[in-house]
Amino acid sequence: MKAAPLILFCLTALASQAHASSPDAWATYDKAVLTSCTKASGLKDSKPVGNAAQFDDRVGYTALLLQGQYPQKHMKGAQGTELCLYNKKSKTAYVTEWDSIRPAGKAN
């Protein structure tokens, strides 16, 4: 049968796509997300809060919550929170202020 090599090739290709990424690949990706998000952040000394939320590839984004200090003088070093969305395809981070996630008057 001449179809057997083609079927074997297709099955091999599908099997190789089913393997999960290696721990090293995930670590590299997580570092890229953190670097891109902290660079895009408007907060001073921004740090991640918890782990990134990995959305399905159909969505195409990873979300990361950041906390830091507002750099503006009139904010007097107040704590701020931002939500970062990292676009997996373009490798671009977008941030928005999200102080409403914390109860008013609470500082972490």
Domain residue spans in the chain? Answer: 22-101
Q: What is the pLDDT of residue 55?
A: 95
Tally Cβ neighbours within 10 Å of residue 90: 9
Radius of gyration of the chain (CA): 20
* Rounded-to-integer distance, Cα 69 and Cα 51, Å: 20
Q: What is the pLDDT of residue 79?
A: 95
Residue-wise pLDDT for 27-56, tens only, equals: 999 999 999 999 999 999 999 999 999 999
Residues of the chain with pLDDT under 70: 1-20, 103-108
Q: What is the pLDDT of residue 16?
A: 39
* Rounded-to-integer distance, Cα 65 and Cα 91, Å: 17
Q: What is the pLDDT of residue 12?
A: 41
* Rounded-to-integer distance, Cα 81 and Cα 33, Å: 17
Cα of 47 vs its chain's centroid, Å: 13
- Which amino acid is present at 34? L
Q: Which of helix, strand or coil describes residue 72?
A: coil
Q: What is the pLDDT of residue 67?
A: 97
Q: What is the pLDDT of residue 11?
A: 39
Q: What is the pLDDT of residue 21?
A: 83
Q: Which secondary structure element, helix H or strand E, spans residue 19, and what is its range?
A: none
The answer to whether 95 and 37 are in contact (CB under 8 A) is: yes
